Amino acid sequence: MSDPIIRIENLVKDYRDTRAVDHLDLEIEKGEIYGLLGPNGAGKTTVILTLLGLTEPTAGRVTVKGYNATSEPIRVKTVTSYLPDEVGFSGSSTGLESLVYTAMLNRVPREEAIESAKELLDIVGLGAVGDQKTKTYSKGMIQRLGLADVLITEPEIIVLDEPTIGIDPKGINEFLDMIRSWSKEQGITVLLCSHLLHQVQKICDRVGILVEGQLLAEGDIHELADELFGDREASITAEVDPVTDSLIRELKQTESIRTVERDGETIRIRGKREAAPLISQTIVRNGGDLYRLSYKEYGLDEIYQYYFEGGGVKQ
Ligand SMILES: Nc1ncnc2c1ncn2[C@@H]1O[C@H](COP(=O)(O)OP(=O)(O)OP(=O)(O)O)[C@@H](O)[C@H]1O
């Protein structure tokens, strides 16, 4: 595997008596979309600020494409673009003017800047309103313009802090799809920080769960679910016609099954994960037609509940 494009090593950040980041190790590969997921106050913004060289670590080290974020922040800035949770544009400029301004600040000649700005406005769905002043834009439109503003500098890495706050649900999906397809087409690395797990799940290749400055778990959603719930019982529901006494009896006698409940043509079963194929075989052997077999997989909702809603820190 190549060197990670973002490497956070043993990062500690204290604000007076608050430890915002607590011995954090994190690596992100080039082209990866990494979701840093954590409740308010978990330390996500502090990680971002350190990565951008905007705050100094108390201990540890962050490198971005090999540049030390603390001693070489300008170099980090040449490869990274940041979309904060509150994007600000001069309300008296149009969307197009705002993008051209950013591009020219990055030494892009005016004509080229106008061309790229128009292209990006189309991509983020603002092509028709590029000549309107940004003070007429909705929050969702401002966020889209923010994304275009981030992309116009042609960064290798984009860092997004709660990027969907204030966007309506339909707009959120479009916005996230846009980030994902842009990242995958252009090979751009994305670090997305959020407390909204469904959004993180939607676009991220890998997720890290940050609570009280510590990374409690990391992986893709299936790995996280496995790590947390792999040895738990599965919940399986079968819809069968007919449900006979002999079928119920046989299911109850199956070793990997703990409980069997009958409710009309529905059978609810709790047991080990590997019980599912045995259940369908047993139903067919007993002359039943199997209309539906559903298997409850543990996913992000359970992960979220486990960590953020009372499950607490995993030991
Ligand atoms: N400048 C600061 N001075 C003192 N304490 C701070 C400062 N910035 C952050 N903190 C504290 O550090 C901890 C982590 O904050 P941080 O903003 O990094 O978390 P976060 O996960 O981004 O949360 P949020 O989503 O609410 O912004 C919190 O307890 C916060 O109160």
Output the pLDDT for position 243. Answer: 95
233-296: CATH topology is Alpha-Beta Plaits (3.30.70)
Question: Please, is 46 exposed, middle or buried when counting C-beta atoms within 10 Å of its C-beta (0-12, 13-18, 19+)?
Answer: buried
Angle of CA points 256, 260, 264, to nearest 5° = 145
The first and second tokens of residue 305, run together, are 């509940």
- Ranges in the chain annotated CATH 3.40.50.300: 6-227
Confidence of residue 311 (pLDDT cuts 50, 70, 90): very low
Across the beta sheet with 80-83, the strand order is 80-83, 157-161, 189-194, 33-37, 206-211, 214-219
Q: Whose CA is nearest to atom 13 of ligand 1?
A: 20
Ligand 1 within 6 A of 11 CB? no
Q: Look up the ipTM and state it.
A: 0.95
Higher pLDDT, 311 or 225: 225
Provide the angle, in degrees to the nearest 10, between the axes of the packed helices 139-151 and 110-123.
130
Which residue, judged by its Cα, is nearest atom 11 of ligand 1?
Answer: 20
Instruction: Band the pLDDT of 300: cuts 50, 70, 90.
Output: low
Looking from the CA of 248 toward its CB, the CA atoms found within 13 Å total: 15
Tokens describing residue 178: 């846009």
Q: Which residues contact 251 (CB under 8 A, 6 or more apart)?
A: 257, 260, 267, 269, 279, 282
Strands (E), the chain: 6-15, 18-28, 33-37, 59-64, 67-68, 80-83, 157-161, 189-194, 206-211, 214-219, 234-241, 257-263, 266-271, 289-296
Say which range, 38-47, 196-205, 249-258, has the weakest mean pLDDT: 196-205
Tokens linked to 5: 């494009």
Give Cα 81 distance to the centre of its chain.
18
18 lines ligand 1 (CB under 6 A): yes
Q: What is the CATH number of domain 6-227?
A: 3.40.50.300
- Could you tell me which residues come within 8 angstroms of residue 111 by beta carbon, excluding any fewer than 6 positions away? none
Inter-residue contact 81 to 226 (CB < 8 Å): no
Pocket test for ligand 1, best of 44, 51, 82, 85 (most atoms within 8 A of CB): 44
For residue 240, the model assigns a pLDDT of 95
Tokens 């011995």 belong to which residue? Answer: 23
Tell me where in the chain the CATH 3.30.70.980 domain(s) lie.
233-296
Which residue CA neighbors atom 5 of ligand 1 most closely?
15
Q: Assess contact for 91 and 133: CB atoms under 8 A.
A: yes
Report how far ligand 1's centroid is from the alpha carbon of 114 (Å).
38
Looking at residues 266-292, what average pLDDT do you find? Answer: 90
Please tell me the predicted confidence (pLDDT) of residue 175.
82
User: Which residues on adjacent β-strands are paired with residue 15?
Assistant: 18
What is the structure's pLDDT at 38? 86
Crossing angle of the two packed helices 169-186 and 139-151, in degrees rounded to 10: 10
What per-residue confidence (pLDDT) applies to 157? 96
- CB of 42 closer than 6 A to ligand 1? yes
Please tell me whether residue 151 adopts helix, strand or coil conformation: helix
Across 69-73, 106-110, 126-130, 165-169, least confident range: 165-169
Contacts of 235 (CB under 8 A, 6+ apart): 268, 269, 270, 295, 296
For all residues of the chain together, what is the average pLDDT?
Answer: 87
How is residue 110 written in tokens? Answer: 């005016």
Which range among 13-22, 136-145, 198-207, 223-232 shows the weakest confidence by mean pLDDT?
223-232
